[in-house]
Structure 1
Amino acid sequence: MTRLFKTSPHNCSYLNDRQAETLFIDPDATITPEMYEVLNLQGFRRSGSHFYRPDCTGCNECQSLRVLVNEYQPARRHRRMLKKADPVVRWQVTPVHYEEAYWQLYERYINERHRNGDMFPPAKEDFYRFLLQRSEFGFLLEARLEDELLLVAAVDQFSQGLSAVYTFFDPDHSDLSPGTLAILQLWRACKELKLPYLYLGYWLSSVPNMRYKADFQPAEIYQDDRWQRLIR
Structure 2
Amino acid sequence: MSNPDDSIFRRLQFYTTATYPCSYLPGHMARSEVAAPSHLVDESAYARLIEQGFRRSGLFTYRPACEQCQACVPIRIDVQHFQRDRTQGKLWRRLQSSLTTRLAPLHWDARHFDLYLRYQKKRHPGAGMDQDDQAQYTQFLLTSRVHSELAEFRDADDVLRMVAIMDRIDHGLSAVYTFYDPDWRSSLGTYGILWQLDYAAQLGLPWLYLGYWIEGSRKMAYKSRFRPHQILRGGIWAESLDDN
TM-score range, shorter chain: over 0.9
Aligned residue in 2 for 1:86: 96
Which residues in structure 2 correspond to 1:1-16 (within 5 Å)? 1-16=11-26
Cα 1:136/1:52, change in 2 over 3 Å = closer
Identical-pair percentage: 34
Cα distance between partner residues in 2 of 1:165 and 1:141: 12
Cα distance between partner residues in 1 of 2:180 and 2:37: 30
Aligned residue in 2 for 1:111: 121
1:138 paired to 2:176: no
Which residues in structure 2 correspond to 1:145-156 (within 5 Å)? 145-146=155-156, 147-156=158-167
Cα 1:78/1:31, change in 2 over 3 Å = same
State the 1:28 CA deviation.
Answer: 4.7
Q: What per-residue deviation string (whole Å, max 9, x for no partner) do you get for residues 98-146 of structure 1?
A: 1111111111111222112242323221110011001642100111002
**Contact in 2 for aligned 1:2/1:25 (Cα 8 Å):** yes
Q: TM-score, normalised by structure 1?
A: 0.95
Cα distance between partner residues in 2 of 1:86 and 1:174: 13
Which residues in structure 2 correspond to 1:1-232 (within 5 Å)? 1-134=11-144, 136-146=146-156, 147-175=158-186, 177-232=187-242
Cα distance between partner residues in 1 of 2:146 and 2:20: 31
Cα distance between partner residues in 2 of 1:203 and 1:27: 27
Structure 2: gaps spanning 5 or more residues? 1-10
Cα 1:135/1:168, change in 2 over 3 Å = farther
Cα distance between partner residues in 1 of 2:145 and 2:181: 23
Secondary structure of 1:52's counterpart equals: strand
Aligned residue in 1 for 2:7: none
Residue type at the aligned position of 2:62: Y
Cα distance between partner residues in 2 of 1:160 and 1:151: 25
Structural RMSD (CA) = 1.4
Cα 1:211/1:151, change in 2 over 3 Å = same
Cα distance between partner residues in 1 of 2:28 and 2:144: 31
Q: How many residues of Structure 1 are paired with residues of Structure 2 in the alignment?
A: 231
Secondary structure of 1:173's counterpart equals: coil
Cα distance between partner residues in 2 of 1:64 and 1:149: 30
Q: What per-residue deviation string (whole Å, max 9, x for no partner) do you get for residues 189-231 of structure 1?
A: 1111111100111110121110100000110111101111111
